[in-house]
């Protein structure tokens, strides 16, 4: 294998493809598969659950394939001088990497040791707005379960129905839902692992798209999914199992509705969090009375009393909640103001936008002892 290429394009591809590489009993999976064919270089990272592939233009002089340790390759290309880099490997898998006055020689692995990525049947295919999809992940990923107690909840449910794509995450203590319209009449659902969505979020965060509203493609089969984003192909297994009937979990109606400033509410919660940690846990006690929201918290580390103004409609209510769960929802809203809807001190707290219905968060309350 022999080729030359631009350093910046190679760095971007190596850094993103490496997101799918992890420690493994199979040493080949700790590397990036590099395949040079004519004037293209295709790089693949794969951990048997998630795979990322990217093809970039190169000046190819000799076709070939090789596996290079991902960590070592990333360290080398990121520290090479700017400009053009050259790669060449011989029959003994010795690989020479040159750039400017810098020259590395490292040993690769045979491409024959690399497992094949799964083939994705074209059962369903949709195109979605890339910026909108980025928001969908950002506003739901925080509620994905972090333990394997219920494996299906370690992923997010994607549901297409009536020309609307909904993404739902639950972890037993909270729920997050985000939706946006899509151009399809198909109706189907699938569950994507949270780990996959986390890596997609990292790739989307690095994109500097020239198009105003770029589109991305999603192809779904019975067991796998592939996301195509700016030339990256992200392949993942899907989760199987019965997901929560989230529509029935959403409270209908309310007895108390409060319009709050997200900044004011979040600042109060952050102040209360100063005296809360893993060893000193306590719910935040929140009282909505008249036009004042009063927060109280007491732990072995201290006490807090705080308040701010808000617009309330309906009954006064006193309710307890976990500081982190409520703060995560407030941060994910990306709004200046939110509506909180409550039906009682033991009913879920519903957070919705002041205008529209594109997202919805639920935070389960904590029973107060006093």
88 is written with which tokens?
């060449």
Question: Which SS3 state, helix, strand or coil, does residue 119 take?
Answer: coil
Does 133 have pLDDT greater than 90? yes
| Top-level class of domain 124-246 | alpha beta
Place of tokens 């295919």: 125
Q: To 10 degrees, the CA torsion angle through 362, 367, 368, 370?
A: 150
Q: Which of 192, 205, 100 is nearest to 154 (CA)?
A: 192
Give the neighbor-by-neighbor strand order of the sheet with 94-99: 59-62, 2-6, 84-89, 94-99, 102-107
Q: Which of 216, 202, 199, 226 is nearest to 131 (CA)?
A: 216
Weakest-pLDDT range from 76-80, 117-121, 352-356: 117-121
Measured CA to CA, the distance from residue 71 to residue 321 in angstroms comes to: 42
For the purposes of burial, counting CB atoms within 10 Å of the CB of 324, is it exposed (0-12), middle (13-18) or buried (19 or more)?
middle
Tell me the CA distances in angstroms from 244 to 44, 157, 216, 346, one per residue in order.
Answer: 35, 9, 27, 20
pLDDT mean over 5-9: 96
Radius of gyration of the chain (CA): 25
Which pLDDT band, with edges at 50, 70 and 90, does 16 fall under?
very high
Place of tokens 């209360």: 272
Does 285 have pLDDT greater than 60? yes
Task: Give residue 208's pLDDT.
Answer: 61
The H or E element containing residue 86 is strand 84-89
Question: Which SS3 state, helix, strand or coil, does residue 14 take?
Answer: helix
Fold of 251-363: DNA Polymerase III; Chain A, domain 2 (3.10.150)
Q: How far is CA 39 from the centre of its chain?
A: 33
Domain with CATH 3.10.150.10 in the chain: 2-113, 124-246, 251-363
What share of the chain has pLDDT > 70, as a percent?
98
Contacts of 8 (CB under 8 A, 6+ apart): 82
Q: Are 152 and 240 in contact (CB under 8 A)?
A: yes
Tell me the CA distances in angstroms from 63 to 3, 9, 17, 66, one per residue in order.
Answer: 8, 19, 21, 10
pLDDT tens column, 152-174:
999 999 999 999 999 999 999 99
Does 370 have pLDDT greater than 80? no
pLDDT tens column, 290-339:
999 999 999 999 999 999 999 999 999 999 999 999 999 999 999 999 99
pLDDT tens column, 179-192:
999 988 889 999 99
Does 89 have pLDDT greater than 90? yes
What's the mean per-residue pLDDT of the chain?
94
Task: Give residue 330's pLDDT.
Answer: 98
Question: Which SS3 state, helix, strand or coil, does residue 155 take?
Answer: strand
pLDDT mean over 108-128: 90
347 is written with which tokens?
């009913």
Q: Which of 349, 325, 322 is nearest to 338 (CA)?
A: 349
- Please, which residues bridge with residue 341 across strands? 257, 350
Question: Which SS3 state, helix, strand or coil, does residue 283 take?
Answer: coil
Task: Give residue 369's pLDDT.
Answer: 85
Domain 2-113 falls under CATH 2.60.120.10: no
Which pLDDT band, with edges at 50, 70 and 90, does 212 fall under?
low
Task: Give residue 213's pLDDT.
Answer: 58
Task: Give residue 126's pLDDT.
Answer: 92
Task: Give residue 110's pLDDT.
Answer: 96
How many helices, marked H, and strands, marked E, lie in the chain? 7, 26
Question: Which SS3 state, helix, strand or coil, does residue 282 take?
Answer: coil
Tell me the CA distances in angstroms from 67 to 28, 46, 196, 261, 360, one per residue in order.
Answer: 7, 12, 23, 53, 45
Q: Which of the 8 DSSP states describes residue 63?
A: -
Give the neighbor-by-neighbor strand order of the sheet with 292-299: 302-309, 292-299, 284-289, 317-321
């Amino acid at each position: 294998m022999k080729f030359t290429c631009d350093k910046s394009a190679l760095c971007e591809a190596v850094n993103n493809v490496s997101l799918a590489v992890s420690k493994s009993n199979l040493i080949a999976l700790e590397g990036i598969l590099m395949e040079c064919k004519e004037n293209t270089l295709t790089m693949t990272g794969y951990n048997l659950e998630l795979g990322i592939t990217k093809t970039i233009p190169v000046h190819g002089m000799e076709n070939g394939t090789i596996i290079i340790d991902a960590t070592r390759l990333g360290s080398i290309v990121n520290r090479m001088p700017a400009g053009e880099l050259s790669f060449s490997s011989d029959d003994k898998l010795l690989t020479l990497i040159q750039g400017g006055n810098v020259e590395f020689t490292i040993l690769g692995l045979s491409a024959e040791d690399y497992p094949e990525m799964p083939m994705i049947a074209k059962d369903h295919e949709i195109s979605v707005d890339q910026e909108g999809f980025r928001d969908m992940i950002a506003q739901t990923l925080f509620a994905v379960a972090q333990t394997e107690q219920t494996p299906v909840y370690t992923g997010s449910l994607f549901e297409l129905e009536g020309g609307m794509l909904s993404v739902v995450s639950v972890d037993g203590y909270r729920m997050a839902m985000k939706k946006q319209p899509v151009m399809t009449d198909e109706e189907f659902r699938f569950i994507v692992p949270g780990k996959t969505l986390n890596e997609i979020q990292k790739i989307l965060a690095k994109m500097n798209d020239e198009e105003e509203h770029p589109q991305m493609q999603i192809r779904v089969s019975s067991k796998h999914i592939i996301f195509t984003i700016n030339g990256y192909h992200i392949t993942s297994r899907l989760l199987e199992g019965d997901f929560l009937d989230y529509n029935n979990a959403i409270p209908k109606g309310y007895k108390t509705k409060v319009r709050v400033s997200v900044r004011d509410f979040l600042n109060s919660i952050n102040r209360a969090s100063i005296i809360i940690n893993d060893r000193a846990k306590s719910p935040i006690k929140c009282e909505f009375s008249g036009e004042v929201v009063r927060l109280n918290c007491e732990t072995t580390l201290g006490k807090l009393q705080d308040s701010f103004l808000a617009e309330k409609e309906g009954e006064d209510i006193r309710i307890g909640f976990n500081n982190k769960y409520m703060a995560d929802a407030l941060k994910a809203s990306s709004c200046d103001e939110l509506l909180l809807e409550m039906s009682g001190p033991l009913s879920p707290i519903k957070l919705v936008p002041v205008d529209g219905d594109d997202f919805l968060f639920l935070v389960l309350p904590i029973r107060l002892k006093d």
